[in-house]
DNA sequence: GACAATTTAATTGTGCGCAATATAAATCAT
DNA sequence: ATGATTTATATTGCGCACAATTAAATTGTC
């Protein structure tokens, strides 16, 4: 037993799962950037619009839960969408703490142009890698495990 | 054949691969945040230190290629690491365009504390999901496909 | 050797992402 | 009903991420 205590090399960057996720995320936003620029949207703005296209009138809070984002991120993002004329922000009469989000006609109209974005992406790469939804499932499981493990509450 | 042309619903957010990657990335940085805060590092700073621990003296350019980040991101980040006393930035004598990055004693000393970070993470979640490196491989393949597809050059 | 083209960093400006805090409204407890 | 607690949004501040530009050094060409 030659106890060769190698000075505990930290794992190589490229072999770490966190880095792979980090890089894949950047690659995705880069990929979406061009297509979304034609819609005048950033990627996070596009995600917000996806939620509203799925059904508007939701509150900022509900949107935040769907996207895992807080008001510190959403408030300025939503103000930009409002300034772009895509949504309206209306404070609730029943509960004046809440702000409901509605699509304008322009925001509704953008849905169709937005609809072809994931299709274009999907054809380019989706089937190649995500053959049977396995990767998607793995990532969801990963996220769950991460959230569970980092539940500092 | 009842041709019910449903108004082309955009895919649900939660079923989109890009969103899963986006969410997993956030979950990772959240998970790392606490452990890294004890080292006084952010997650991107930790990635930079990983590269330098793997071998210092590299240029900003080389670091950027390793991390897929440009000088716009790296210059201020490296200045912060320098201000924290972890690295030195030295402009090359041979080629004054280049800046080489060296670990200080403090930066070198941080390696050991940093070494237990991925271990703690890995034990918490690594084995659960990444049973045999399949997920890692899938993500790398995904990244490759994305970069290839978005090679606007 | 002079000058154009390329390369490397740094700078500027915009938009997330998130912690911490503030503010105001609603709810709860007495 | 009044005061304490909780909830929803907004604000502030810091640190990425990246496009676009600038500045300076190097290389290539003639």
Tens-digit pLDDT string for chain B (153 aa): 555 444 455 667 887 888 888 988 888 888 889 889 999 999 999 999 999 999 999 999 999 999 999 999 999 999 999 999 999 999 999 999 999 999 999 999 999 998 888 776 666 665 555 566 777 777 787 777 766 665 544
B23 touches strand C (CB under 7 A): no
Nucleotide nearest to A44 (CA to C1'): C16
CA–chain centroid gap for A146, Å, is 17
Strand C positions with any atom < 7 Å from protein CB?
7-13, 15-20, 24-27
pLDDT of amino acid A153: 41
| B34 interface with A at CB cutoff 8 Å | yes
Fold of the domain spanning A41-119: Arc Repressor Mutant, subunit A (1.10.10)
List protein-proximal bases of chain D (any atom < 7 A from a CB): 7-13, 15-20, 24-27
Nearest CA in chain A to B125: A145
Chain B nearest-CA distance from A75, in A, is: 19
pLDDT at B124: 60
Q: How far apart are CA B56 and CA A68, in angstroms?
A: 37
| Cβ under 8 Å to A: B residues 89-108 | none
Query: What is the DSSP-derived secondary structure letter of residue A59?
Result: B
The whole-angstrom distance between B111's CA and the closest CA on chain A is 8
Place of tokens 């939660």: B14
List of residues 6+ apart from B132 with CB closer than 8 A: none
Lowest mean pLDDT among A30-34, A56-60, A115-119, B80-84: A115-119
Residues in chain A: 153
pLDDT number for residue A148: 66
Which protein residues have a C-beta closer than 7 A to any atom of strand D? Answer: A 22, 26, 29-30, 33, 59-61, 64, 70-72, 74-76, 78, 89, 95, 97-100; B 42-45, 68-73, 76-77, 80, 94-97
Give the closest-approach CA distance of A96 to chain B in angstroms: 29
Q: Residue A10 is nearest to which of B50, B138, B143, comparing CB atoms?
A: B50
**Which chain A residues in 62-91 lie under 8 Å from chain B, judged by CB atoms?**
66-68
pLDDT band for position A147 (cuts 50, 70, 90): low
Distance, in Å, from the CA atom of B90 to the CA atom of B93, rounded to the nearest integer, reads: 9
A110 contact partners, CB below 8 Å, separation of at least 6 = A39, A49, A86
CB of A48 closer than 8 Å to CB of A94: no
**Which CATH entry fits the domain spanning B28-147: 3.90.1170.50, 3.40.190.10, 1.10.10.10, 3.50.50.100?**
1.10.10.10
According to DSSP, the residues that pair with B87 across neighbouring strands are B103
Check if B37 contacts A (Cβ < 8 Å). no
pLDDT attached to residue A61: 98
> CA angle A123-A127-A133, nearest 5°?
130
- Domain boundaries, given as residue ranges, for chain B: 28-147
pLDDT of residue A152: 43
Q: Does A128 touch chain B (CB under 8 A)?
A: yes
Distance B56 CA to D29 C1' (A): 36
Report yes or no: A37 at the B interface, CB cutoff 8 Å: no
- CA distance linking residue A93 with residue A95, whole number of Å: 6
């Amino acid at each position: 037993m030659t106890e060769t205590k190698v000075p505990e090399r930290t794992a190589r960057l490229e072999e770490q799962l966190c880095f792979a996720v980090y890089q894949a995320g950047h690659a995705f936003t880069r990929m979406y950037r061009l297509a979304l620029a034609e819609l005048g949207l950033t990627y996070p703005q596009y995600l917000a619009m996806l939620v509203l296209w799925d059904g508007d009138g939701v509150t900022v809070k509900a949107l935040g839960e769907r996207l895992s984002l807080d008001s510190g991120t959403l408030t300025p993002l939503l103000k930009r969408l409002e300034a772009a004329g895509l949504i309206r922000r209306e404070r609730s009469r029943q509960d004046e703490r809440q702000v409901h989000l509605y699509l304008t006609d322009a925001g509704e109209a953008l849905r169709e142009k937005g609809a072809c974005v994931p299709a274009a992406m999907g054809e380019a790469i989706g089937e190649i890698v995500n053959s049977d939804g396995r990767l998607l499932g793995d990532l969801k499981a990963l996220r769950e495990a991460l959230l569970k493990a980092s539940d500092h509450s």
